[in-house]
Amino acid sequence: MTTTEPRAAQDRAFAHPLPSYLDPNNIGPYEIYLEQVERVTPYLGKLAYWVETLKRPKRILVVDVPIHLDDGTVAHFEGYRVQHNTSRGPAKGGVRYHQDVTLSEVMALSAWMTVKNAAVNLPYGGGKGGIRIDPRRYSQGELERVTRRYTTEIGLIIGPEKDIPAPDVNTGPQTMAWMMDTYSMNVGRTATGVVTGKPISLGGSLGRSDATGRGVFVTGAEAMKKLGMPMEGAKIAIQGFGNVGEAAARIFHQHGAKIVAIQDVTGTIHSDAGIDPKAALEHLRRTGKITDLPGTEELGAGEFWAVDCDVLIPAALEKQITLQNADQIKARLVVEGANGPTIPAADDLLAQKGVTVVPDVLANAGGVTVSYFEWVQDFSSFFWTEDEINARLDRIMREAFGSLWDVKERHGVTLRTAVYIVACTRVLEARAMRGLYP
């Protein structure tokens, strides 16, 4: 069936009910994504016929993950793998370990991966995984057993040409090494391309650890140029000081910007004179907390949003910028390092205030871009230098930002809407050309 359906089909109402596995009274993070799709639908033209494709994940796998704990008892954990869309290529997306992971969250994350990959024109669809576990409460051996059992359970649907997991919240190169080894043992051959974000010794890519934070910097710097904001001395506030936030802080600092506030799960610090990200990281590793860093003052969690800054980078979890704090934000520019940190109503408020938002599906696409480089290198068994990786990443991010900014200006919309116009058009064009089988 194409976009030229019989009149009767065109006249039908296309308002489908929510899937039964979602609670209409508490949809969760997926509700943010659904609203974003609704907002972009008027710009899709005839492709709007296929818009339900974007609202419903292609495949959802919920698995039980039982393991022996170190004390000899058996524990069961809930695991997910969602493949949102594979119209443009295999699913691609991370795996997070967090005690509050839900199906709705993983669905939203997988959908944002679909948009993100299409926005920077990578040949992937969107996927995501997660396990409901607080990794701080378990030993290294227990986490290895959780990872191996989870990988075995989702092994039915992952693979180098089907679905390629990667690190996310509370997972990293070691987790990916266990996943790769488990999958390889189960298929009887070494399959380095089944995951990305691996250690270098197992086919990982140089530049991968900083890639997401570097992409945040590149898109943020491009936005600052468009807005006439100088980099030298620009005041940056960062929420989240993990892999993404730390790398973004370090690279902005290296280019002359001033980090004036950092917030993470342990607290919030502020300094008008600027914070050295390297010193902050060393302090965090030594003491286990960001607070009490010499030369800084501690702020309350809510005070972070009112800090005087030019650029705000939310690089923690979703739903951080809400109607309760958006009006306090003083930054001219928000660069979303996290996935889904701004709820749609807060997005509207920021736009009304004249705040430019570089959305997550563009700003944090550096990670999946270098994951794509890793995947390509694994297939070819030919590896690039870190300088080559960074140059390729910077070019893709700058070109994507420039073309999407042009769409923003042409339609007179926010940058988020512009990204969704381009990305959803690409996905739905692929869906329409492929048609429905059977």
**Structure-block tokens of residue 180:** 């790769």
* CA atoms of 242 and 275, how far apart (whole Å): 16
274, 298 contact by CB (below 8 A): no
* CA atoms of 51 and 48, how far apart (whole Å): 5
CB atoms under 10 Å from CB of 233, counted, come to 10
Q: Mapping DSSP to helix (H, G, I), strand (E, B) and coil, where does residue 335 land?
A: strand
* CA atoms of 337 and 192, how far apart (whole Å): 27
Helices (H), 230-365: 243-254, 277-287, 344-352, 360-363
Q: What are residue 80's DSSP bridge partners?
A: 62, 130
* CA atoms of 195 and 368, how far apart (whole Å): 11
Q: What are residue 95's DSSP bridge partners?
A: 129, 167
Among the listed residues 46, 128, 198, 226, the single catalytic one is: 128
Q: What are residue 68's DSSP bridge partners?
A: 74
Among residues 429, 427, 432, which one has the least CA distance to residue 37? 427
Residue whose entry in the numeric block shows the structure tokens 């923690």: 316
> What is the DSSP secondary-structure string of 118-160?
HHTT-S-EEEEEEEE--GGGS-HHHHHHHHHHHHHHHTTT-BT
Task: Indicate the annotated binding residues.
Answer: 92, 116, 212, 243, 371
User: Amino acid identity, residue 315?
Assistant: A
> What is the DSSP secondary-structure string of 286-312?
HHSSSTT-TT-EEE-GGGGGG---SEE
Task: Indicate the annotated binding residues for substrate.
Answer: 92, 116, 371
For CA atoms 35, 36, 39, 41, the dihedral sign is negative
**Structure-block tokens of residue 27:** 């949809």
Rg of the chain taking only CA atoms, in angstroms: 21
* CA atoms of 241 and 311, how far apart (whole Å): 16
Task: Indicate the annotated binding residues for NAD(+).
Answer: 212, 243
> Residue 128 catalytic?
yes
CB atoms under 10 Å from CB of 51, counted, come to 17
Q: Mapping DSSP to helix (H, G, I), strand (E, B) and coil, where does residue 48 land?
A: helix
Strand order across the 297-299 sheet = 297-299, 267-270, 258-264, 235-239, 311-314, 333-335, 356-358
User: Is residue 285 classed exposed, middle or buried when 0-12, 13-18 and 19+ CB atoms within 10 A define those classes?
Assistant: exposed
Q: Which residues are catalytic?
A: 128
